[in-house]
Chain A
Amino acid sequence: MRVTSNMIMRNYTSRLNNLLSDMSIANEKVVSNRKFLTAAEAPADAAQAYLLRRQMQNNSDYLENVKSMKDVETCMESSMMDIKSIASQANDAILQSGGTLQKSDREILATQLDELQQSMVASANSQFQGRFLFGGSSVDDVPFQLKDGVLTFRGVDVNAEPGTPDYEKLQAMASETIYSDLGLGMNVDLGSAGGTTADKRIITPGSAYNSAMPGIKFLGFGQNEKGDSNNLILSLGEIATALRADHYDADRVTQLGKKLEGQTNSLLANITQMGSNSNFLDTTQKRLENNAFNLTKKINNVEYDDPAAQILDFKQLDYAYKAALQMGMNILSPSFIDFMR
């Protein structure tokens, strides 16, 4: 092919131009340490980077949730431990009283039980960050109220007989839930709850973490077959009443004491359950922290590059550019005319 000096000149300048723009991009990459500067440069990498960022954000949401759940659990556990120790105190007092007691002694013991009962109610109404811990899904109103020997949970008599509408309400309240999304693959259905046709948001248990602990769930509600209360707080009241009775019946007190002990044990079982929940939260936290670490690593891999390699790339281009400049002097070489006499 015929090669003319004009042709060489044009090609040379356009190539020099390309080199310069390549060098400018390489320079920007070195400065930002990024693998790509715009999504258009590497669409697939950009898509992956967005995905990883999203996962990272979700992960940190979950982590926040776990941490706040742990705080709540700790508080719940300590309040439940308080209640447990009050119950133990009551048990001790009853055991120490032995069989026969003078009326005055009984009154003292009964008063003591009254006080313990009050402080148990106080513990059951504990708050954390402005929320009542044991109110089920109601967190703004005081859950337990004890008045004239009647204990109500959110206005419903805790001592309701099985089968009554009140008892059904208590059952419903005892199974109330407040879920928290910990990244367990939360699933919410628009099923209809309880046979009604209304749309409900039903969270698949296990797909999220239930942090609600309605007080009556571990303190008990309803009555046993003898008509005595299943509730721990009311049990204290029953014993106090039995102690104050004109016809003091030691057997009954012993029997109520036994019931109290049983209730204390079931409370303990609930506390233990709480402990294993804490373990679960710890494990989840660790898992999420690991995730965060891995995700950071992945983000680094996808979005950022080895600075050494980037600098080397830049140097290479720089070298090529300089070489091209140098060559330019030679390309515009003399033509035949220079050699004519």
Chain B
Amino acid sequence: MIRSTFYGFSTALSGMLASQNALNVTGNNMANVNTDGYTRQRLNIHSLAAGLGDRYVSQNTFSIGQGVGMSGVSQLRDPFLDIRFRTEASGVGELDSWLSGMQDVSAAFDETQQASFLNALSDFRTQLQKLSGAANQKEMDTIVRSSAETLTKLLNQYANQLSNIREQQEDSLKDTSIPQVNDILEKIAKLNESIAESEMSGNPALELMDHRNSYLDQLSTYMKINVEYTPVKISDGVTLQKMVIRFAEDPADPMKFNIPGGIDDPDSAAKGYMLLDGNTHATLSVSKNEEGITQIFSDWANANLTGTAGGSKPVALSFAGGSLRGATELLNKNGEFDTASNSPRGIGYYQKMLDVFARDFANTLNKANLVENPDFDNNKDESPDNRKYLGGPLFTVNTQPADPTDKLHHPDDYDDAITAKNIGVSQNWLSGQYGITNTAKDPNIGGGDDSGANDNILYMISLLDDKRIFEASNIMQNASAAVQAVKGVYESSNKLPDYGATVLNNGDTLSFSVNYNNQKGGHSQTATVTLTYRDGFLYGAGGSKYPAVTGTDAGHTVNGDRLTDAVMGELSKSGDFRDNFTVSKGTDGKLVFTAKAGGTQGGQVIGLEMKHTNFNTVSGLETAPSLTKPFDAFHTLDFGAGFAIYDSADADKEKSIFTINGQKFAFVKKGTDLRDLNKAGIRAVEVNGDAITSDEVERMAVQLRSTGLTVNLTDPASLKLTVERETLDIGTANIPTGFDKKTPATKGVYQSGTISSGFTAQDGDQFGLSLTYRNDKGDLQKVNLNLTYQTKTADGTPLTSPVLMGPDGRTYKVTSSPMSRNTVLDAIQKELSEHNPSLAANFDVTSDGEKLSLTAKTAGTGGASVESLELNVSTERTQADAFLGGGTGTVTNTTVGAEGYQTSDLSQFTPYDGTNPEKAVFTIDGKSYAFVPSDSKLDSPSNGITLIKMGSTAGPVTADDVKAFVKTADPAGTSITSSGTSIKLPLDQSVTKGSSRELYNGTFEQFFTSVGITASQDVSSKTSELKNHISLLNGASTQRDSVSTVDLSEEGASLLRFQKSFSAAARLMTTLDEALDTIINKMGVVGR
């Protein structure tokens, strides 16, 4: 091919132009060496081919390239490194914002350098220890109290500190982060527009892209983003890259929001939720809902692939990373208090832990400060004057005014309202109405207070030292109140009738008994009311008196309503029964018992029974017994029987001295020196003659009487004296003959009155003997003997003749009708003498057919004696025959409303959005349920919770929703029924609300320590996590820098390179010029 003459010039020109432009790009690079976000640029050059070939191919034909061409300037950037960088940046952002709040929380609990709360807690214990050593000193109680005040104030302070941290975080999210994100989105959108305009006019706008990239980097610290570029053809040859930003959803987050078209929408291939689409973008906003959950909203709520605007939905919980996620987790997550496992511990966790501490601490000590009142009268109603428990709560809500002095306190009072923020020392403690109760022991053994006893103080110390289980359920206030089972109500089928069929006698008793199960799990407890009729009134236990008759019918007819009143009055005094039920009058005067506790734990009435005991006066059996008392001890002194006379000359004279109760006496011979005898302490009576006469015996009686003895001259002729005294010590030595000290005393004889003959008995009547006696050892004994008149056996078979049934099934035939008194007396006599060995050892029991006699077997005061003897007959008739005269109906139990629980309004439940289960989840028989909005994408069961779809997208729960729940929970429809927005359950199902979770097992101090340590551990581990992310970010950043930043040496080299290439091209030009010159000027000089 023939090439043109100036072909080479254009080649050289292209080289020079390319080199010049390359030098310009290098210069630009060097100028921007310190510009943030600048990406080094490069001139894109290529070699130019040599046009078309020749028409004919020839071996000698070839083409040479036409030089260098330029296609534009481009950036050196690796998109993969951008993605890596932004991923790490979102990780760093998340941890950084979480830590910024958490470090404050950890610092609040940190006591390494400055001891505060733990010190106060220790101090409280120390002061209790001191009080235990000085329980009687009032001022010590004051010191404990001030220590407790410090403790509560510190708790308030901690709670406030946590609230402040929360507020700061909320403010920074609202005032800084969210506006910044919106600003960045706005800027990117604007840049996109400028870039598009610029590119359309053929300008690549590299510097604008750099700006955009650095904004994307900033955005990535707030949330994890996906950036996509879609080519959009504008016209032939002009194709623009359209940018779409989505935030990445966290697929592992159980609380993810389920955005239609989002990552978990099976219908969508898109990954993430759209934030920016070319030059338009969503706007984020933040707000707190009424439950205190901070939510970030996007106004592109319905945006999916197409970026449709409209609606507004919370989105932040779905962020896969970034500082917005970190901040919302810090604000919304509660660690172990959430149902989701591995939920991070945000500020809420620590606030709730403090509340658990405050509530448990206050209620534990409040309970310990109550001790049972040993003086409590169980027969009376609890009242300020008759307190069941002494002491009162030490801690209350700090705004709570002092309780009135007549307030009654119970150990199960549990103050739910106490939180760390409001705990305070109770006003009553402050005012000194009561203090720390020092003892639970029965006071007043003897006189003196128990001011030194300290058992209850030590108990409190031990409570501080004891391990306990702290549970998350304690904090779920709204939850526990939401479901409450109905209390059992029991009504008698009939009202108590008037008692008019039989005339009542004074002494007749009406007994009413209730058989019930109590709250503590005691089965078949019986509360019995016994009312005794006397003169128009019914008398109860403890002497309470109720009118029994109305107006004019004073003729022994008990009025049913009056009877009901009396029964109610007595039942409400009966200790355990009163603790379980309240008694009231229902319709038509029926008795209604309402259990005090709800559900299966409450009391249940099993049965009612009314009995009537007729106290029978017909027989005279109640006649008081006549008692023949035994005489006291007797001793006979027979001075006529060879009694010796004291003779000072006699060697055996001592033998004639006799001693009675330590005092010596003697008959002395006339002329004896009485002074000697007086000195020796002998009381003497002179005998005139040789023998003792009645005169001298009389004088001896005077002497004896002077020592306090009772002496009777019973038989002067025989010179006998009887001495009567309880103890008479005559001794054993020197007893002259004539002392009949063995003379026995009379045996006591005890006799009943005469019993009337003939008694018309009915089956079941009882003949009773109650006998109190002292045995020969002086011990008081009691015998109660009951003989039951029976006409048939226990299984109802009629007997051939009626019998009296004694203990152990012994029977005595009744031969006559009416029954003769002999039969009863014989039976009693046999029972007592043959079947009661201890009585028989002391008495001979005999009957003369009219009376019963008991004769002591041992004589004198040493013998047995009867203290009281009572015989009576009582006939007991159940209500059916005696009360109603064989009439109509019985009093039985009817159960009303106790067939199951009725929950309170289920509309109190918040629809479940994956968070705050304690407000949404309820448990029936161990299974958890929750209502969810109709558009919820949560799959049932979620975290083990069966979800019930509501009819609406938002609350409240309607009756139809409750019906839907019943269908799910009880498909067979056998146990659960709905009733409006509440449900009814059978009694054997248990209903609880919310889930309880063991938080910690340890002492109060350990618990509090663990809270602080948990915070520092979280900070510690997240800090190292952050360090890790930062080093990864640094790595990504370094790699990116390595690709994109300007290096001066490199640019210097380029400078040289392009300068040389320019020189070379210029040189080519010169060479060509010279060549042309040769051709033009030097050639063709032939002939010159």
Contacts and interface: CB of A to CB of B under 8 A. Distances in A.
B459 A38 contact: no
Interface stretch (B105-113, B143-151, B978-986): B105-113
Interface in A158-204: 169-170, 172-173, 176, 178-181, 186-188, 190, 193-194, 196, 198-203
Interface string B99-131: 000010011011111010010001001100110
Interface stretch (A19-27, A270-278, A320-328, A333-341): A333-341
B233 to A, nearest CB: 35
Contact of A39 (B109, B441, B1023): B109
**Of A138, A176, A186, which is in contact with the most chain B CB atoms at under 10 Å from its CB?**
A138
A337 B1013 contact: no
B1009 A51 contact: yes
Nearest to B372: A198
A38 B1048 contact: no
A81 interface: no
B450 A50 contact: no
A6 B1041 contact: yes
B447 A154 contact: yes
Contacts of A329: none
A181 B448 CA distance: 24
A268 interface: no
A150 interface: no
A180 B132 contact: yes
Contacts of A101: none
Given A4-B1041, A186-B458, A193-B441, A43 B1013 contact: yes
Nearest to A338: B1052
Given A141-B448, A155-B448, A337-B1052, A40 B1020 contact: yes
Nearest to B106: A40
Contact of A32 (B107, B113, B126, B1052): B113
Contact of B126 (A61, A140, A176): A61
B1013 A46 contact: yes
B240 interface: no
Nearest to A7: B1041
A65 interface: yes
Nearest to B121: A54
A179 B446 contact: no
A331 interface: no
Given A54-B1005, A173-B445, A336-B1049, A38 B1041 contact: no
B371 interface: yes
Contacts of A1: 1039, 1042
Interface string B1041-1052: 111011111111
A200 B441 contact: yes
Contact of A340 (B113, B1043, B1056): B1056
A212 interface: yes
A47 B1011 CA distance: 10
A316 to B, nearest CB: 20
Interface in B1035-1088: 1037-1039, 1041-1043, 1045-1053, 1055-1056
Interface in B353-367: none
Contacts of A34: 112-113
Interface string B421-459: 000000000000000000111100111111111111011
Given A7-B1038, A169-B445, A53 B115 contact: yes
Interface residues of B, number: 77
Interface in B331-363: none
A135 B459 contact: no
Nearest to A186: B462
Given A39-B109, A340-B1052, A199 B440 contact: yes
Contact of A247 (B111, B681, B1055, B1056): B681
A303 B113 CA distance: 10
A305 B439 CA distance: 47
Given A10-B1041, A186-B462, A57 B681 contact: no
A137 B132 contact: no
Contacts of B448: 135-136, 138, 140-141, 143, 154-155
B449 A138 contact: yes
Contacts of B1049: 5, 335-337
B623 interface: no
Contacts of B442: 193-194, 196, 198
B136 interface: yes
Nearest to B411: A199
Interface residues of A, number: 81
A7 B1042 contact: yes
A336 B1038 contact: no
A68 B133 contact: yes
Contacts of A6: 33-34, 1041, 1045-1047
B450 A137 contact: yes
B528 interface: no
B1052 A186 contact: no
A76 to B, nearest CB: 13
A40 B118 contact: no
**Of B445, B459, B1052, which is in contact with the most chain A CB atoms at under 10 Å from its CB?**
B445
B465 interface: yes
A314 interface: no
B1036 to A, nearest CB: 12
B374 interface: yes
B1012 interface: yes
Contacts of B33: 5-6
Nearest to A6: B1045
Contact of A64 (B115, B130, B136): B130
A53 B451 CA distance: 33
B682 interface: no
Contact of A203 (B115, B446, B455, B1053): B455
Contacts of A130: 136-137
Contacts of A43: 1013, 1016-1017, 1020
B953 interface: no
Contact of B458 (A39, A42, A188): A188
A43 B1019 CA distance: 9
A36 B450 contact: no
B305 interface: no
Given A2-B1042, A7-B1038, A138-B450, A201 B458 contact: yes
Contact of B459 (A39, A54, A156, A188): A188
B1027 to A, nearest CB: 10
A6 B1012 CA distance: 43
B1009 A50 contact: yes
A181 B458 contact: yes
Given A32-B113, A137-B450, A153-B446, A340 B1055 contact: yes
A68 B131 CA distance: 12
A104 interface: no
A37 interface: yes
B81 interface: no
A212 B1020 contact: no
Nearest to B451: A140
B1013 A47 contact: yes
Closest 3 CB pairs between A and B? A155-B447, A138-B448, A139-B452
Given A4-B1047, A172-B445, 18 more contacts: A4-B1042, A4-B1046, A32-B113, A38-B106, A38-B112, A40-B106, A46-B112, A46-B1012, A47-B1010, A50-B111, A58-B125, A64-B129, A140-B448, A141-B451, A155-B446, A156-B446, A169-B445, A170-B446
26 contacts: A5-B1047, A6-B1041, A6-B1045, A7-B1041, A39-B1015, A40-B106, A40-B1017, A41-B1020, A42-B1020, A46-B110, A46-B112, A50-B1012, A51-B1009, A57-B122, A135-B448, A138-B451, A152-B447, A154-B446, A178-B135, A193-B441, A198-B374, A201-B458, A203-B458, A247-B681, A336-B1052, A337-B1048
Interface of B: 33-34, 103, 106-107, 109-113, 115, 118, 122, 125-126, 129-130, 132-137, 371-372, 374, 439-442, 445-456, 458-459, 461-462, 465, 681, 1005, 1009-1010, 1012-1013, 1015-1017, 1019-1020, 1023, 1034, 1037-1039, 1041-1043, 1045-1053, 1055-1056
